[in-house]
């Protein structure tokens, strides 16, 4: 595919996403090799392939998935569907029930146990087997309301997908050894899960339904953050940007109600929020690089390295 053919689409996406113009270099050195990898996999398998994109918060999973989807569809003529693990969150009512039955920390979405992974498996199966006139509804979650979008508002994918992209912060994670769960990892675990009930349930979910879901993947791409400290920094920065966006909306005459829907967390609240993710994130940073089919290092300034492809045995 020539650079001149791709340039208009790449520039339009950069503009749409508000990315720096030098992101075009990232497309060339990081994204285009991934496309070659995906297309080669599709041609070798001669069937629909499912590609996972793993990355801690703030590593750029959604942006990568968007560029891959658009370029594969528009320039490689490869029908590509994508969704996030976040789109599979249990409804607010379902999480409330889980919080009452198992542990109050399950009211907060994010960790294994708060997703409907069976729904994800059904969507993948429908996308794989759809006929030319079939439509598949792709789940959607509204974080501003902390609840799943009504079914009739889910986006629709027409026909069969040749590539399915699934992105998520804990995609491909493996359970820890039970002994590793004994000692709390942070103040959230020490003060709000002193008995270990919450973290043991999370680990149990990773042993079962989540491994079945991850087993759908034909290939796993990892966006590797430099450290847990950097993840916290990036997530805090995201919240600051959201606060600025809300202030601008209010200044431009948006209703206070609309601004309230985008509830902003303080830095302390972000730190507590990230503690929910810390145990699984640290485990993934340690054990996933050696298992990922394509490893991309994310530097402190969010720039992406060239993919390091694992040699297949």
User: CA dist 287 to 17, 200, 226, 270, Å?
Assistant: 32, 19, 14, 25
Q: Read off the pTM.
A: 0.93
User: CA dist 54 to 36, 62, 155, 193, Å?
Assistant: 19, 10, 23, 27
Which of these CATH numbers, 3.50.50.60, 1.10.3720.10, 3.30.230.10, 3.40.50.300, describes 3-227+287-305? 3.40.50.300
Q: How far apart are CA 296 and CA 224, in angstroms?
A: 6
Q: Give me the pLDDT at residue 276, please.
A: 95
Q: How far apart are CA 199 and CA 278, in angstroms?
A: 11
Q: Do 278 and 170 meet the contact criterion of CB atoms below 8 Å apart?
A: no
Tell me: the pLDDT tens digits for 284-313? Answer: 999 999 999 999 999 988 899 999 998 865
Tell me: the pLDDT tens digits for 182-215? Answer: 999 999 999 999 999 999 999 999 999 999 999 9
**Residue linked to tokens 């409907």:** 116
Q: How far apart are CA 159 and CA 182, in angstroms?
A: 48
C-alpha dihedral (313, 31, 82, 233), degrees to nearest 10: 100
Residue 13 has pLDDT above 70, yes or no: yes
Q: Do 228 and 282 meet the contact criterion of CB atoms below 8 Å apart?
A: yes
- Angle separating helix axes 228-251 and 267-287, nearest 10 degrees: 140
Q: Give me the pLDDT at residue 263, please.
A: 67
Tell me: the pLDDT tens digits for 74-107? Answer: 999 999 999 999 999 999 999 999 999 999 999 9
The half-sphere exposure of 253 on its side-chain side, counting CA atoms within 13 A, is 0
Q: How confident is the model at residue 266 (pLDDT cuts 50, 70, 90)?
A: confident
């Amino acid at each position: 595919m020539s650079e001149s053919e791709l340039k208009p689409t790449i520039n339009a996406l950069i503009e749409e996403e508000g990315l720096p113009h030098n992101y075009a270099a990232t497309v060339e050195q990081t994204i285009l090799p991934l496309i070659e990898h995906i297309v080669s996999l599709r041609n070798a398998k001669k069937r629909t392939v499912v590609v996972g994109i793993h990355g801690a918060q703030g590593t750029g999973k959604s942006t990568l998935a968007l560029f891959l989807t658009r370029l594969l569809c528009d320039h490689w003529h490869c029908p590509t569907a994508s969704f996030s693990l976040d789109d599979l969150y249990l409804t607010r009512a379902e999480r409330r029930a889980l919080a009452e039955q198992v542990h109050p920390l399950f009211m907060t979405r994010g960790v294994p146990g708060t997703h409907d992974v069976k729904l994800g498996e059904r969507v993948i199966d429908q996308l794989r087997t759809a006929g030319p006139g079939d439509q598949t509804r792709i789940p959607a979650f509204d974080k501003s309301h902390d609840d799943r979008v009504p079914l009739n508002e889910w986006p629709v994918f027409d026909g069969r997908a040749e590539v399915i992209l699934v992105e998520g912060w804990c995609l491909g994670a493996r359970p820890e050894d039970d002994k590793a769960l004994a000692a709390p990892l942070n103040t959230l675990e020490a003060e709000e899960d002193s008995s270990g009930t919450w973290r043991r349930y999370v680990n149990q979910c990773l042993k079962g339904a989540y491994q079945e879901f991850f087993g759908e993947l034909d290939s796993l791409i990892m966006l590797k953050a430099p450290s847990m400290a950097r993840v916290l920094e990036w997530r805090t920065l995201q919240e600051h940007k959201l606060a600025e966006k809300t202030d601008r909306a209010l200044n431009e005459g948006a209703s206070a109600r609309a601004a309230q829907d985008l509830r902003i967390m303080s830095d302390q609240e972000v730190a507590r929020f990230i503690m929910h993710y810390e145990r699984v994130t640290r485990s993934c940073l340690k054990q996933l690089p050696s298992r990922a089919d394509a490893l991309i290092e994310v530097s402190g300034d969010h720039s992406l390295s060239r993919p390091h492809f694992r040699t297949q045995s």
